[in-house]
Amino acid sequence: MASTFQFCEDTGTATNLPLRGTGRFFNVADVNWKNIDSTTALYSDWPITAGNNSFRKYQFGLWTGSFNSVSNVVFQHTTGSFTQPGFTLIFTGTSGYAAPSTTALVGGDLTLTGLLTTGLPLLLGTGGPQSAAVTTLNSSGYSSYIVSQLQTTSSAAPGDTPTITYSVSWQEN
């Protein structure tokens, strides 16, 4: 028995109750912060200009497969950092969804050190990230949203940012 995990992402305007995105994408392989609310648009076609923020990303985890329980789910920034001046990487966990925007996100600053030692605990639910409210799954289900945003100042240098790695860990029975 083993669970299968994948990252997913919601995009678009808020719909339904509880709120979720109008677009839901599965098996999302990267984040690519950019100046558009899209999982498929190339980030090079939608650059973030210095002094502005990326659109917020509403990603979440999905567990499927055969397992008794998944619990103690933690999001962590594990490797890489933005060492050049003018960049801040912000993350937060929530079950609330709002249409992604460039409005500054308030949350944990993962620019340099990440959450390798502490992690960001995530809630779980079977109805989607928008209804995650428990700490243990006993069947296929979702984590709460992992909301992220790349924020820049006017001193941010042009070009690509360094690569960072983040992960989700959990206990499984």
Distance from C-alpha of 148 to C-alpha of 91, rounded to nearest angstrom: 4
User: CA-CA distances (angstroms) from residue 45 to 78, 81, 171?
Assistant: 28, 23, 39
Distance from C-alpha of 17 to C-alpha of 58, rounded to nearest angstrom: 17
For the chain, domain boundaries: 2-172
What is the pTM for the complete model shown? 0.93
Extract the tokens encoding 111: 């620019």
CATH architecture of 2-172: Sandwich (2.60)
User: Which of 63-67, 73-77, 116-120, 132-136 comes out lowest in average pLDDT?
Assistant: 116-120
Q: How large is the average pLDDT for residues 35-60? A: 95
pLDDT greater than 70 at residue 21: yes
DSSP letters for 125-157? ESS-GGG--BSEESSSEEEPEEEEEEEE-TTPP
142 pLDDT tier (thresholds 50, 70, 90): very high
Distance from C-alpha of 74 to C-alpha of 26, rounded to nearest angstrom: 20
For 50-105, what is each residue's pLDDT tens digit?
Answer: 999 999 999 999 999 999 999 999 988 878 777 778 988 898 989 999 999 999 99
Extract the tokens encoding 26: 């599965």
**Under 8 Å CB-to-CB from 42, ≥6 apart: which residues?**
none
Q: 38 vs 110, which has greater pLDDT?
A: 38
pLDDT greater than 60 at residue 136: yes
Q: What is the mean pLDDT of the chain?
A: 91
What does the pLDDT read at residue 114? 57
pLDDT greater than 60 at residue 49: yes
